Structure 1
């Protein structure tokens, strides 16, 4: 869908359609097709006159958003690669959670905010790709809308945790999340929408002032400065004390908990010293630690920490009153690591 049209407020859309000489109620019909049905072509607007559709097509040419590849995991996870208007590719993941009787409990979608990523994190397949461009709000919304249609089920949770650093595309990300949060659109509660950042201080401070109760997650991965700089070199200019100060302000301002994403990597960030540093960093913060299993990445020297290490970390963090969980690995049999499937497809296309 065209980004300008999708982000146009209903009042402005009504004024525009009236200026073209059509009744005001036609704007409501168009708005519903855009935000309730998430149509991908103007021809889908079956109750909108052809003359209105023609005007829309001339004023707002459609951007291409098509499925390039789709994989389905044994656990029900579906990974998508979409081709955008400029032939670039971007990944999205649909993650269903089932009840014991096999019925769907909830459907979470992990969306990308950029084509590639400028952060160059050492453990991330997307980081090897480099940065191409920001996604616009329509491209973010379309990821969720496509997954919802593909599962034929309502999306209940969104995580902006795919390719890219969302706070380096702040305005378009927030614009998209407001659309998804709107009662007129996907109607996903703000507390069920999580933004994951490498720790961009400006973005954290801006989010603290937003009226919506979006959830904040920090890709921490080490509370030892030298180790974190090694793993996340583009974040080295923002020190851990500066990050903790920003989070302290955020929590005080919003009274909302922060989640820390911590990928336990064998021999890199899983020592007793690393654990002590994490406990110290969490001290005084309203926070939760998500210990992440590591999906293997072809060509990477990094390996997952042992199950014994993971278990001891959970016990020790909990003993210090730090709420901790381990995220279940999803889609490991379908190129589960972020950027892995897309990079493999690009390599296949160019060889």
Structure 2
């Protein structure tokens, strides 16, 4: 059996789906590896390093492959070249990739989305959404520290005391918790809020203060928050407004898989912050938690800098790739038995992560998104 690792072609994507370090594990499982030339260039993994690890490296690696590994979804032309029954593994946000999903179905390609790996104990080694969110949360705190025109930590000097920066984090999932931990390590005073009351203990364990608001919690399935009503959303913004106004740094991380990110902060709330404050919206790619944030852009709004995140994990390509590669290999090896491809859809992880198989779209929410289910 042979797998191909592709060079990423989407603008701004610097990660790679497999590093040389993982190749011996695949070879031991009876899987040959072909890597497209310069696939690891952005992370410092040379073609020579892949060859030394046991992979073949070339310009065209798609011939006679059983599976294709990538970070971003393959493009339509690549899908056209793959043989029936080929497996693809990548992030595959189906709400944005309708034409590709249909092409994969037409070509009878079996596609798995790292976005859909369930949040269960057994699936943790394959949970790329969490691993990449961790990278993004760390990066968000570093971006804020770089752009805030003052210190994060407190300094006591002979010239006087410099008070620490106040950081407010909205959303305490994986990205939010990493942003909290990083801001605390940098010495800031941190507060955080999440609609899930269960997150309060995790926030406190990192040395931050949980923001209490007079609203019922919204605990959802799989560790995610439930979607809130517009009435609840409006009231939540009203209650959070004083905390936002008092912050030197605001980092927002709230997202709902497969849906637009909730609006947590209005333009009026941003305008209420002190000049020189910094807002980092890690959900800008999903529609944004902050009104007016634009993915990949920095804006000045009444003296407040608003940074819109775009493919944030890719801004730290080496550690993000190390984590992602482990996730991908762990998922792929669920499909390998004695060096052959064996797709067991009784396995809850494979069943949940599969989007297309044998000429069908197997993921029901995707069928509904494409208007193919009544």
With normalisation by structure 2, the TM-score equals 0.30
More helix by share: 1
Higher RCO structure, 1 or 2 (CA under 8 Å, sep 6+): 2
With normalisation by structure 1, the TM-score equals 0.31
